[in-house]
Amino acid sequence: MHETTNRPPHSGIIARLAIAVLSLVGIADALYMYAYHEGLTDSLICPFFGRGCDIVGRSAHAKHFGIPNAAVGALGYAAMAALAIWPGNKPPQRRQMQSLGLSAISLAAFVASVFLTWEQAAKVKAWCFWCLSSAGLNLVILPLAVSEGWRSARLFLHRP
């Protein structure tokens, strides 16, 4: 059974490669913030927002349930990168669970980014370039991952 869509034949591979690359950028972003959170660097370079990154990074809202947001972010991006490249060249009908997992993680990351961005504005009253960059990455990853997951879900539901 082959998927019948108007998509180019390699668009899924291109989308997953884009997700993997964006996730690697996200890992670097999150690890930079984590290094600051753990005191490995005294301050953050913070384009556009002055000391905002330091204020957000040292605030009580930089961790939830005792776990630094940056650590959760690094793990989330690593999981997305792994799920994006794991299926390799398998056809969509043979990578359904990976695609659905990637969609779920990207949706959770996006929702977390919305919440954390709201916290910056409403509670911390400061903006962090690195946090907003991470939110932007999640915004770009989400439609790529959900598109792949949607195709996999349709294939799963319509399999013989």
Residue 4 lies in a domain: no
Q: Are 126 and 55 in contact (CB under 8 A)?
A: yes
Per-residue tokens: 9: 């034949």
Residue 5 lies in a domain: no
The Cα 118–Cα 122 span in angstroms is 6
Confirm whether 3 is domain-assigned. no
- Domain range enclosing 114: 11-157
The CATH number for 115's domain is 1.20.1440.130
Contact 92, 99 (CB under 8 A): yes
Residue 157 has a pLDDT of: 64
* Amino acid identity at 40: L
What is the pLDDT, as a whole number, of residue 2?
Answer: 45
- Tell me, yes or no, whether 37 lies in a domain: yes
> pTM, whole model, 2 decimals?
0.86
Number of domains observed in the structure of the chain: 1
pLDDT at 1: 41
Whether 2 is covered by a domain: the verdict is no
Q: Which residues of the chain have pLDDT under 70?
A: 1-11, 87-95, 152-160
